[in-house]
Chain A
Amino acid sequence: MKIFVCVKQVPDTSGKVAVNDNGTLDRSSMATIVNPDDMNAMEAALSLKDETNCQVIAVTMGPAPAEAMLRELIAMGADEGILISSREFGGSDTFATSQIIAAAINHAGFGKDDLIFCGRQAIDGDTAQVGPQIAEKLDIPQVTYAAEIEKKEEVLVIKRMLEDGYMMVEVQTPCLITCIKELNMLRYMTLKGITECYEKPVHVMDYECLKDEPLIEIDTIGLKGSPTNIFKSFTPPQKGSGIMLAGTVRDTAEELVNRLLKAHLI
């Protein structure tokens, strides 16, 4: 069994956000992290690997520096990485991105015993569309918002969270699962993983490699081909620095309560 884990390098939202003139993010000028939900997806895959000794492949679409992220995930325990990177893919919306990723996974040999794990959504786009769209493109079942995953012989039993409850879903491979943060606690990289990660393969798939894949419609990839375009991105105006209360814990707590009382907020 192979588990493909889709991961995305996203801007660290605790830092400054920079936007290009065409409305896309200026990713090169921002600190980056692995999308948090994708980390939960990776942890879920690695937990299954601990149980079943399956192969875990980290997949990302992004610029060349995204390889460093794949190496970190290999240091956590993934077996190899796939970096989908090409100028022609830049600026793709979720529709374009999902078909490119689906094509890459297909190209890497996605079989009937295999799984795809994704994070629920990325913190930069917040659409939660790519995972389900990959599943549709590959014509495989999908289970979203997984808070628990258990392997029982030939099936996976998944607790799928809803707004007001949950459902228990049984699904066989091949399938795609999107993961939420409640699913698991993340493991760290290991020192052994760090010293060995550059010996493991990271395959680069560019436009030339994927353009003839049947899952790709050439006119619907990249910024120009994407059915949707962002026409404006902006950082909302800051609210203001607020008031910093100084003093001991007791003093500041008293001061805060007094202020809230005066403002009739409590």
Chain B
Amino acid sequence: MTLQLTKEQEMLVKLVKDFSENEIAPLAEETDRTGKFPMQIVKKMAETGLFGLNVPKEYGGVDMGEVSKVLAILEIAKACSSTAEMYAVQLLVNGIIAVNGNQEQKQKYLGMSMEGKLGAFALTEPGAGSDAGALQTTAVWDGDDYILNGVKCFISNLGPEEGDYAIVIALTDKEKKIRGGMTAFLVDRELKGFVVGKTEDKMGIRGAAVSELILEDCRVPKSAILGQVGKGFHVAMSGLDSGRIGIAAQACGEARAALQLALAYSKQRIQFKKAICQNQGIQWYLAEMATKLRAAELLTMEAADLRDRKQPSGMNASMAKFFAAETAVEIAGKAVQIHGGYGYIKDYAIERIYRDTRILTIYEGTSEVQKIVIAKALLQ
């Protein structure tokens, strides 16, 4: 594996860094305070082509690969966790459609994505989190259509104004469940029976729209089937590795922001007539934080590089997500500690980042699930 970026990747990093600093970072504090996502950022991101980063060229994208995706998400996450989460989910949905969709579906939905229309991935239910196989939303065949009924929860990129379409995983055969009983559907928000329910008031990533999705006799044509009937679980799993790498990248970006804040604060905070960074205890904290962050970044890049080279990456993706998420939570906590009392005050950005990181070890597969995946791969 080479750590040398291509010229195009270097330019991508410059673009996303400039964009994040100029457009995203200035709105991060207000986004957190109001809990409202600034949709004008989505429009501007669409204009730069960022939503086409993992869209195949024949559908108007640039298909720059997984490493490029990591680089972009990392830079955005440094500026704002909510925006990074939105973007990571959007790319996850893009990726699932690109792999499983037919020509018409790819044309329509990848095109919508690149225009800045947000897509959601609706798998989780109140009774089906880590145990995705326990889902209960049904899709009943009726004439030429399917009728969807059920409740999904914690669906990202779905809110009062956010979200234009969703990949919905539903049971087409209650007996078979994950072994051929689930089907994936591409459902437009405007369809009757697609109801966005309660939007969650969260501890962190407060600007990211996360809502309940209620499907009430939602009639979808059979052309909405993504992949094949009975292959829904397979469709959902096809996005797993890439999704985990995306969250690992988000974790690395948030951790980097936390470390930079801690470094800067430690240089300017004077106690006992010297900057606190001159104390060995603080230096050791900073050294540990920087080392673990570097390890997280390298694990994430390695997983992404394996995917780009079409090598098996399941274990590596889980390792990256597990380690980067846990590390980000730890680094944010240490950064608050270095800030002392001011780290507990909302005037200081580290307070927001600390809350933002907490979800990283939970969503997109908990740390516990990642460890199951890793152990399974080791014991094969």
Contact = CB atoms under 8 A, between A and B. Distances in A.
Nearest to A245: B268
Interface size class, chain A: 10 to 19
SS of A interface (majority): helix
B15 A189 contact: yes
B88 interface: no
Interface in A232-266: 244, 246-249
A191 B7 contact: no
Given A194-B15, A246-B270, A189 B7 contact: no
A75 B62 CA distance: 13
Residue from A75, A191, A192 whose CB has the most chain B CB atoms within 10 Å:
A191
A68 B270 CA distance: 42
Contacts of B7: 68, 71, 198
A195 B8 contact: yes
Interface in B1-32: 7-8, 11-12, 14-15, 18-19
B64 A195 contact: yes
Given A195-B64, A244-B268, A246-B270, A188 B8 contact: no
Interface of B is mostly: helix
Interface string B257-278: 0000000000011100000000
A228 interface: no
Interface stretch (B35-43, B48-56, B119-127, B326-334): B48-56
Contacts of B347: 248-249
Interface in A190-216: 190-195, 197-198
A72 interface: yes
A194 B19 contact: no
Nearest to B44: A188
Interface string A60-94: 00000000100110010000000000000000000
Contacts of A197: 11
Contacts of B99: none
B345 interface: yes
A72 B11 contact: yes
B48 A188 contact: yes
Contacts of A198: 7-8
Nearest to A192: B49
Contacts of B19: 188
B345 A248 contact: yes
Contacts of A194: 8, 11-12, 15, 62
Nearest to A75: B11
Given A68-B7, A72-B11, A248-B347, A191 B62 contact: yes
12 contacts: A189-B48, A190-B48, A190-B49, A191-B50, A191-B62, A192-B52, A194-B11, A195-B8, A197-B11, A198-B7, A248-B347, A249-B347
Interface of B: 7-8, 11-12, 14-15, 18-19, 47-50, 52-53, 61-62, 64, 268-270, 342, 345, 347
- Which 10 interchain pairs have the tightest Cβ spacing? A191-B49, A190-B49, A191-B62, A194-B11, A195-B62, A189-B15, A244-B268, A188-B48, A192-B49, A194-B8
